[in-house]
Structure 1
Amino acid sequence: MTTLSEGKHPGGFLVWEAFRDYTRETITVASGKLEPGTVLGRITVSGKYAAHDTAAVDGSETAAAVLWGAADASEGDALAVAVVRGPAIVNRHDLVFAGTPAEAEIEAAHTSLLDAGILVR
């Protein structure tokens, strides 16, 4: 019997947002193959986004947005949509983090998202 596996859906992490035309923007993802719900950081020099990485020193160490749908920037920059500001509420269990961050690093990312008006529940 074939086993089917369902992946993450675009926006599946979103619980509520005020106005989609306000909370979402088209962004440029700098690198990686990312799935919906990936927590992103903004690279200071270029203004592009990358997967949030607490070990980075380029700006992406600070959580700044949540990727709406899948993005494949493995061969170069890719345009994507992300929730970049609130008011919005997202489901903590549907967020995707690069690597295996410690619980304290995840909580710090949640706080950074709250600074942008994105509440993690």
Structure 2
Amino acid sequence: MPGPRVFTETFTPDRLIAGLTQPVHENGLLISGQNLARGAVVGKITASGKLTLSLSASSDGSQVPYGVLADACDATGGDLANCPILIAGEVNESALILGTGHTLASIRAGLRDKGIHLKSVIPA
């Protein structure tokens, strides 16, 4: 009789979630051509409702932060549905991935309006 199978996994926390407030997620549609990591600040394109990395120079609505990717999403092969987007909660500002032209100051108010609060976390 074979013995039990043993698996080993390593978990390395990225410290994206930074508080006691319960995070709130929704699923979003990431536009084709994007391959974004967890923590990327995304905006919503007004005409299509699709999500993309928020860039300050965009003029399609996505320049306004909509949320933060709660997991890595790869849409290089086409639009990707069901990307988990953090739309409320407290996040570690140093774990965010910002698009070109954005700074923490430029996204803070937009994310706060959505219910996402940026926290400065001191590493343990």
Give the TM-score taking structure 2 as reference length. 0.76
CA 66–17 in structure 1, closer or farther in 2 if over 3 Å, else same: farther
Structure 1 residue 75: Cα displacement: 1.9
Work out whether residues 52 and 97 of structure 1, in 8 Å CA contact, stay in contact via their aligned partners in 2: yes
Percent identity of equivalent pairs: 27
Question: What residue number does 1:51 align with?
Answer: 53
Matches within 5 A, 1:62-77: 62-77=64-79
Give the TM-score taking structure 1 as reference length. 0.78
Q: Deviations over 1:57-105 (max 9, x none)?
A: 1111001100011111112111210112x2x110000000123x354xx
Work out whether residues 12 and 37 of structure 1, in 8 Å CA contact, stay in contact via their aligned partners in 2: no
Consecutive unaligned residues of structure 1, counting only runs of 5 or more, are 1-7
Question: What residue number does 2:109 align with?
Answer: 111
Structure 1 residue 47: Cα displacement: 1.0
Matches within 5 A, 1:1-121: 12-16=15-19, 18-20=21-23, 23-31=24-32, 32-79=34-81, 80-84=83-87, 86=88, 88-99=89-100, 101=101, 103=103, 106-121=104-119
CA distance in 2, matches of 1:66, 1:107: 16
Structure 1 residue 108: Cα displacement: 1.9
**What is the number of residues matched between the two proteins?**
106
Structure 1 residue 16: Cα displacement: 3.2
CA distance in 2, matches of 1:102, 1:113: 12
Name the larger-Rg structure.
2
Work out whether residues 36 and 68 of structure 1, in 8 Å CA contact, stay in contact via their aligned partners in 2: yes
Structure (1 or 2) with the greater helix fraction? 1
CA distance in 2, matches of 1:117, 1:24: 11
Consecutive unaligned residues of structure 2, counting only runs of 5 or more, are 1-11, 120-124
Q: What amino acid is the match of 2:84?
A: V
Work out whether residues 39 and 63 of structure 1, in 8 Å CA contact, stay in contact via their aligned partners in 2: yes
